[in-house]
A and B are shown apart, each in its own frame.
Chain A
Amino acid sequence: MQNNTDILARLDEIFEDTFIDGDYEFSVELSSDDVEEWDSLAQIRLLTAIEKEFGIKFDIAQIEDLKSVRALSEAIAQKQ
């Protein structure tokens, strides 16, 4: 995945806009357990922002699984 760095950089931006309280360190290891604001509704907002940014659509079955930066970046790379 040659554009992984690019994906991560764009994800970092989206995280910064979605989780405004910012009590976390962005990395590929980050998951919903590490971010207090990252609940099931924030998940929807996060996915919507990602879809807009990357011009993709996630499937309904993926929503529950995409709860870490790693899972997100992999799913984005796959969809692109």
Chain B
Amino acid sequence: MQDLDWLPLPPDNFKELCKDLESNQETAPIVKRLADSRLSQNQCNRLYRSIVKLSDDKLQQLQQGFDKVKLGIVSNGTTDLMVPGLFISALRRGIWIEPVIADFDQALQESQLPDSTINAARPDLVLLMLDYRAFSFASQTVAGCAEGFNAEDAIQYIDQIRQGFARHGQVNCIVPTLAVPPVNLLGSLDRRLTGSLKKQIHDFNHAITPLIAQSDDYLLDVETIAAELGTHNWFDERQWLSSRLALSDQAELFYFERLAALLAGIRGKSKKCLVLDLDNTLWGGVIGDDGMEGIILGQGHPQGEAHAQLQRYAKELKACGIILAVCSKNDEINALQPFKDHLDMVLREEDIAVFVANWNDKVSNLQHIARTLNIGIDSLVFVDDNPAEREIVRMNLPQVAVPELPSDPALYVRTLMAANYFETVNFTEEDKLRAEQYRQNSQRQKLMESATDLDSYLESLEMVAVMGSFDEMSYKRVTQLINKTNQFNLTTQRYTEAQVLEFERSSQYFCLQARLMDKFGDNGIVSVVICKKTPGQWEIDTWLMSCRVIKRRLEDLMCDEIVRQALADNATKLTGQYIPSAKNALVADLYPSLGFAQQDSGSWELDLTRYNFKSPPISIE
């Protein structure tokens, strides 16, 4: 996995495509395709320079398709060479990075001064790109070290930096665990030898993890990332000694990949659904030809165990809330048979939220899967052993992640794990249930197709809503929704956990969250509203709803509830804004459809005294 093997190789005419980027009619798709390929540092550099040289018009147009992140970076190493690699890795994950880089080795100073380079630039996040050499323990010796916990100073140092950026820059940090360099004094004893570098780093990593988990900051587990690559490959002594470059060439690309994935996770852009091919992917052989007895799967056959391993990985992802789907060229009856009757199948029919086996092209089948689940096509990962299918999907649906698979099924799982599509910053109880909820949704879809009209369908769902303000139980999920809901989101305001708690505590704000249940199951918390209260008038600051409950008239219920509460607060007007984004066209007409009138300023206003309560068929518990 050392050279980002899951990415396809760049096209042969890579250089020419970079050179002609400006004159190309299709700049955005070309950039996407090039960035999505397995580029070396020099190639990243070439593509990056072609992008920044684009004319203003083209550049602006290109930026539209990406989520912008202004990223402050402090480092104890040389950062001059890293921008191209970082920038291209982020493009791959749908993020446009604007880096703000502090001078060499200025982490503490930068954090403490309100007008430092980083704090003055008001970044969205600050990356602490620090390795063990940033800390005092790097120069400590076994002889000079007291017994006990060795990493105290280092933890204090990191805390000071984090608090500085929080106070003076109002910005959260990405904090690393530390890679353990290939050092050795007395062998395995080092692990518990007071003052040994190894023990100090282990102590630090052990202490920092829970500390960050309880904060608004984010952890980048560099220790593990470096171990994956091998620490001999991670650290390059010569580069450090000659130029203070902290990472080897190879390590840098891998590090940026994982950093970009974390940024995508923070921005809610991680993948949500794993779509699996069947023949020669989930099992060896072709079910239509070889039959139940003939396919290779499970114990007693090395290749069969490799396919079973992939199934176990998928099942584990499902337990973490990732949706599973099947997309196969097969007769459905043949394709389903192993899921029902093969003893070595790890995955069962009920694990698959959408099962598509037919002879249509995979591009339309993938579109169908995304539509059925009501998720963006860019939330899909498509796993297929057939290079031709992969290429067709890449060409037609560039937003779908399509990993290159090695020819050996024994390496499938490792490749998918290395690609790291499912980076998640917070895992709540809700997430565990998610895959199941999506499966319930596709059952609802079937019911809807059989119902005569929408209202009778909604009646038959027997929906129940539980509404309340934010509390201990819900604020993590509320924050998650605020940061990753894109489609049904009127203002796309993003807030941290701390800010969410602040809204709840403030008497100036009205906070509402709703959970929706029906006869198929519990959807969990799916809608959030935050209103700013002023005398006589409430203003909607945030109104969002998860895609999984769209077209259920929950928005009508929410509107009824806001109006009820606003009236009780003696307000006569409710106002709101629709701020268009690349993804929220869905709610462009929400306000007029609810009876709001547009003002000269462009914002929407509802006269509460004349509001017609919508009373949708949802009972309130």
A interface residues, Cβ below 8 angstroms from B: 17-18, 20, 40-41, 44-45, 48-49, 52, 58, 60, 63
Contacts and interface: CB of A to CB of B under 8 A. Distances in A.
Nearest to A60: B238
A28 B458 CA distance: 78
Given A20-B45, A45-B42, A40 B241 contact: no
A40 B80 CA distance: 11
B241 A60 contact: yes
A54 to B, nearest CB: 15
A76 to B, nearest CB: 17
A58 to B, nearest CB: 8
B232 interface: no
List 6 tightest A-B contacts by C-beta distance, closest first: A17-B42, A48-B249, A60-B238, A44-B243, A63-B242, A41-B80
Interface in B243-282: 243, 245, 249
B41 interface: yes
A41 B241 contact: no
B620 interface: no
Interface string B226-247: 0000000000011101110100
Contacts of A48: 41, 239, 249
Given A20-B45, A45-B81, A63-B238, 12 more contacts: A18-B42, A20-B49, A41-B78, A41-B243, A44-B81, A44-B243, A45-B42, A49-B41, A49-B42, A58-B238, A60-B238, A63-B242
A44 B244 CA distance: 11
B43 A44 contact: no
Contacts of B237: 60
Contacts of B245: 41, 44
Interface of B is mostly: helix
Contacts of A18: 42
A45 to B, nearest CB: 6
Contacts of B40: 17, 49
A65 B245 CA distance: 19
27 contacts: A17-B42, A17-B43, A17-B46, A20-B45, A20-B46, A20-B49, A40-B242, A41-B78, A41-B80, A41-B81, A41-B243, A44-B81, A44-B239, A44-B242, A44-B245, A45-B42, A45-B249, A48-B41, A48-B239, A52-B249, A58-B238, A60-B237, A60-B238, A60-B241, A60-B242, A63-B238, A63-B242
A49 B81 CA distance: 14
A54 B40 CA distance: 16
A52 B3 CA distance: 12
A1 to B, nearest CB: 26
Interface in B9-60: 40-43, 45-46, 49
A42 to B, nearest CB: 8
A77 to B, nearest CB: 21
Contacts of B241: 60
Nearest to B81: A41
B41 A45 contact: yes
Nearest to A46: B42
A74 B49 CA distance: 31
A59 B43 CA distance: 26
A44 B243 CA distance: 8
Nearest to A57: B238
A48 to B, nearest CB: 5
A48 B49 CA distance: 20
A38 to B, nearest CB: 13
A76 B115 CA distance: 49
A52 B236 CA distance: 14
Contacts of B239: 44, 48
A50 B243 CA distance: 17
Given A17-B42, A45-B42, A40 B238 contact: no
B243 A40 contact: yes
B248 to A, nearest CB: 8
A45 B249 CA distance: 8
Contacts of A52: 249
A38 B40 CA distance: 19
A58 B49 CA distance: 29
A60 B237 CA distance: 9
A23 to B, nearest CB: 14
A59 B471 CA distance: 61
A40 B43 CA distance: 20
Kindly name the residue among A41, A58, A60 whose own CB sees the greatest number of chain B CB atoms within 10 A: A41
Kindly name the residue among A17, A49, A58 whose own CB sees the greatest number of chain B CB atoms within 10 A: A17
A18 B49 CA distance: 12
Contacts of A41: 78, 80-81, 243, 245
A45 B44 CA distance: 13
Contacts of A49: 40-42
Nearest to B84: A20
Contacts of A44: 81, 239, 242-243, 245
A63 B243 CA distance: 11
Nearest to B46: A20
B347 to A, nearest CB: 41
Nearest to B78: A41
Nearest to B18: A20
Nearest to A17: B42
A17 B43 CA distance: 7
A44 B246 CA distance: 12
Contacts of A17: 40, 42-43, 45-46
A20 B80 CA distance: 16
Kindly name the residue among A44, A52, A60 whose own CB sees the greatest number of chain B CB atoms within 10 A: A44
Interface string B542-562: 000000000000000000000
Contacts of B238: 58, 60, 63
A52 B233 CA distance: 13
Contacts of B78: 41
Interface string B55-96: 000000000000000000000001011000000000000000
Interface string B101-129: 00000000000000000000000000000
A13 B242 CA distance: 25
